[in-house]
């Protein structure tokens, strides 16, 4: 009986290695024609004008995996615009892993904003400048999500590691499958220099481009999926599953320290003013 139940669970989860077709992997969800799939499914563009932004989401839900997307952000004066690219589950106690790119005036740096929600609770913002111009060309943004890490990467360089510290009482995303979402929208009440710089609509439409999507992941087919144990047993038997056991080795840690030392512009773990009752517990665990 036990193994029968396990088979049902396992059969609703599949290991996928998707590469490359926006027709196959995503649905445009809003924007009334402002989101376009081009070049035989290899390219997707989102656009924003005064009337609306646009967005898309993955057809699959994923429970653990390694997901890469190449993104080229709005060039020129992108102040007031935000391109969000994130994984999220549903509901009030959802988990979420966020990249958000906050635009800026021409020649001023984008801000890459990151956050992690567990059980509906976020407030874990870290923000970065980048060591390249993210609007001049496509760059590769990746999320490695396995039972021990949520690792954020830009062009393969780790920038942030949200570790599994469940043994210390800190929730970790591990049981709610997530979809991938992206949208381009106007956030000029807060995005650029705290809302001081407004979107210049004479430059609209604003366009961000996506290509090179790759997911090596446990994908949940249908409404209900198997749990982490089903993903674990599949990963153990699948050659494209190096991500399942991937660790953040000393080289990766050194690169992440370099980024955090030179490019991090905000870290919730250093914001004593914001947390007068004490910093969140994960901040004090080395
Ligand atoms: C994106 O970065 C990841 C992480 O390093 C890497 O595995 C992948 O091959 C890269 N993809 C592209 C298209 O550069
Ligand atoms: C925009 O540029 C200004 C000036 O360099 C900087 O202070 C700010 O952090 C940048 N990013 C955003 C999103 O405002």
Q: Which residues contact 205 (CB under 8 A, 6 or more apart)?
A: 34, 47, 48, 49
| Nearest CA among 173, 67, 163 for reference residue 120 | 173
Pocket test of ligand 2: the residue of 100, 192, 196 to mutate, having most ligand atoms within 8 Å of its CB, is 192
CATH code of the region 9-284: 2.60.120.200
User: Using one digit for the tens of pLDDT, what is the confidence trace for 68-113?
Assistant: 999 999 999 999 999 999 999 999 999 999 999 999 999 999 999 9
Ligand 1, atom 2, residue with closest C-alpha: 156
Pocket test of ligand 1: the residue of 70, 140, 157 to mutate, having most ligand atoms within 8 Å of its CB, is 140
Residue boundaries of the structural domains of the chain:
9-284
Place of tokens 């615009």: 81
Residues with CB under 6 A from ligand 1: 68, 70, 140, 142, 153, 156, 212
What secondary structure does DSSP assign to 6-25, as a single string? HHHHHHTEEEEEEES-HHHH
116: tokens are 């992690």
104 lines ligand 2 (CB under 6 A): yes
193 lines ligand 2 (CB under 6 A): yes
User: Using one digit for the tens of pLDDT, what is the confidence trace for 209-227?
Assistant: 999 999 999 988 655 556 7
What secondary structure does DSSP assign to 60-95, as a single string? SEEEEEEEEEEEEPPPS--TTEEEEEEEE--STT--
Cα dist from 77 to 53, 102, 281, whole Å? 16, 11, 39
- Distance between Cα 106 and ligand 2 center (Å): 11
pTM for the predicted model, two decimal places: 0.92
Q: Rounded distance, CA 236 to CA 155, Å?
A: 27
Is residue 231 predicted with pLDDT exceeding 90?
no
Q: Rounded distance, CA 82 to CA 100, Å?
A: 7
């Amino acid at each position: 009986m036990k193994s029968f139940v396990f088979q049902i669970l396992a059969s609703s989860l599949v290991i996928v290695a998707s590469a490359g077709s926006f027709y196959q992997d995503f649905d445009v969800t809003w924007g009334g024609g402002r989101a376009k799939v081009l070049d035989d499914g290899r390219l997707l563009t989102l656009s924003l004008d005064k009337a609306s932004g646009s967005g898309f989401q993955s057809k699959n839900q994923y429970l653990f995996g390694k997901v890469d997307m190449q993104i080229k952000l709005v060039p020129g004066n992108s102040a007031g615009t935000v391109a969000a690219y994130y994984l999220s589950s549903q509901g009030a106690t959802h988990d979420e892993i966020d990249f958000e790119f906050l635009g800026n005036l021409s020649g001023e740096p984008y801000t890459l904003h990151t956050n992690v929600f567990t059980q509906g609770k976020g407030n874990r913002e870290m923000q970065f400048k980048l060591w390249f111009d993210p609007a001049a060309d496509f760059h590769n943004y990746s999320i490695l999500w396995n039972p021990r890490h949520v690792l954020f990467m830009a062009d393969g360089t780790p920038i942030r590691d949200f570790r599994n510290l469940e043994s210390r009482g800190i929730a970790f995303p591990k049981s709610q499958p997530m979809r991938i979402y992206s949208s381009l929208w106007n956030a000029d009440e807060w995005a650029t220099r705290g809302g001081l710089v407004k979107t210049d609509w004479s430059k609209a439409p604003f366009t961000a481009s996506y290509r090179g999507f790759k997911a090596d992941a446990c994908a949940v087919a249908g409404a209900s999926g198997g749990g982490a144990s089903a993903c674990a047993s599949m990963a153990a038997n699948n050659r494209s599953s190096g991500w399942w056991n991937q660790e953040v080795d000393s080289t990766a840690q050194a690169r992440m320290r370099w980024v955090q030392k030179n490019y991090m512009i905000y870290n919730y773990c250093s914001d004593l003013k914001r947390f007068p009752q004490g910093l969140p517990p994960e901040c004090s665990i080395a």
